[in-house]
A and B are shown apart, each in its own frame.
Chain A
Amino acid sequence: MKGWENEGLASSHVIGPAGARGVGGDRAVIRTTARRTSVRLVNVSKRYAVEDGELLAIDEVSLEIAAGSFVSILGPSGCGKSTLLLLTAGILPATRGSIFIGEEMVTRPRTDVGFAFQQDVLLEWRRVIDNVLLPAEMRGLRRRDYVERARALLGLVGLGDFERCYPAELSGGMRQRAALVRALVMHLPLLLLDEPFGALDAFTRDQLTVDFQHLWWSLQPTVLFVTHSISEAVFLADKVVVMTPRPGQVGAVIDIDLPRPRRLDLRASREFGAYTTRLREIFFRYGVLHEPDYGAIAT
Chain B
Amino acid sequence: MRQALSTLRLRGEHSVDALSRPSILMARARHAALPLTGFVGVVVTWWAVVELLRVPAFIVPSPASVLQALAERRETLFVHAQYTAGVVVAGFLIAVAVAVPLALVIAFSRTLSAIVYPLIVSTQAVPKVALAPLILMWLGFGPRGGVLVTVLISFFPVVVDTVLGLKAMPDELRYLALSMGARRWRTFIKMRVPFALPFLFGGMKIAITLSVVGAVVGEFVGSNRGLGYYLLVASANARTADVFADVFVLSLLALTLFGLMQLLERIVVPWPRKGSG
Contact = CB atoms under 8 A, between A and B. Distances in A.
Interface in B228-277: 269, 271-274, 276
B273 A138 contact: no
A139 B176 contact: no
B190 A113 contact: no
Interface string B187-211: 1001100100000000000000000
A108 B254 CA distance: 53
B274 A168 contact: yes
A137 B272 contact: no
B273 A168 contact: yes
A165 B180 contact: no
A150 interface: no
Contacts of B178: 89, 91, 109
Contacts of B191: 123
Contacts, number: 73
Interface stretch (A16-24, A30-38, A114-122, A212-220): A114-122
B7 to A, nearest CB: 5
B127 interface: no
Interface string A156-176: 000001100110110100000
Given A89-B175, A124-B271, A139-B180, A119 B194 contact: no
A73 interface: no
A226 to B, nearest CB: 13
B7 A165 contact: yes
Contacts of A210: none
Nearest to A5: B181
B10 interface: yes
B139 interface: no
Nearest to B270: A125
Given A165-B3, A168-B274, A169-B3, A89 B180 contact: no
Interface in A91-122: 91, 109-111, 113-115, 117, 119, 121
Interface in A112-157: 113-115, 117, 119, 121, 123-126, 134-135, 137-140
Contacts of A91: 175, 178-179
A109 B276 CA distance: 36
A86 interface: yes
A114 B181 CA distance: 12
Contact of B194 (A110, A123, A139, A162): A123
Given A125-B271, A137-B190, A138-B186, A86 B180 contact: no
A233 B55 CA distance: 79
Interface residues of A, number: 29
Contact of B272 (A138, A162, A168): A168
Dominant secondary structure at the A interface: loop
A134 B179 CA distance: 12
A110 B178 CA distance: 8
Contacts of A140: 186
A299 to B, nearest CB: 50
Contacts of B67: none
Interface residues of B, number: 27
Nearest to B197: A125
A35 to B, nearest CB: 16
Contact of B180 (A117, A124, A125, A135): A135
Contacts of A123: 173, 190-191, 194
A111 B179 contact: yes
B172 A109 contact: no
A115 B176 contact: yes
In this complex, which of A86, A114, A115 has the most chain B Cβ atoms within 10 angstroms of its Cβ?
A115
A162 B190 contact: no
B182 interface: yes
B35 interface: no
B179 A113 contact: yes
A126 B172 CA distance: 17
Interface in B137-164: none
Nearest to A118: B172
Nearest to A194: B172
Given A119-B170, A124-B273, A168-B272, A138 B180 contact: yes
Contacts of A139: 180-182
Interface in A244-264: none
Contact of A166 (B181, B190, B194, B271): B271
Contacts of B50: none
Contacts of A165: 3, 7
Contacts of B115: none
Nearest to A169: B7
Interface in B5-28: 7, 10-11
B273 A161 contact: no
Contact of B172 (A110, A114, A121, A135): A121
9 contacts: A89-B178, A115-B175, A121-B172, A124-B274, A126-B271, A134-B190, A166-B3, A168-B271, A169-B4
Given A109-B178, A166-B271, 7 more contacts: A113-B179, A115-B172, A119-B170, A119-B172, A135-B180, A137-B190, A139-B182
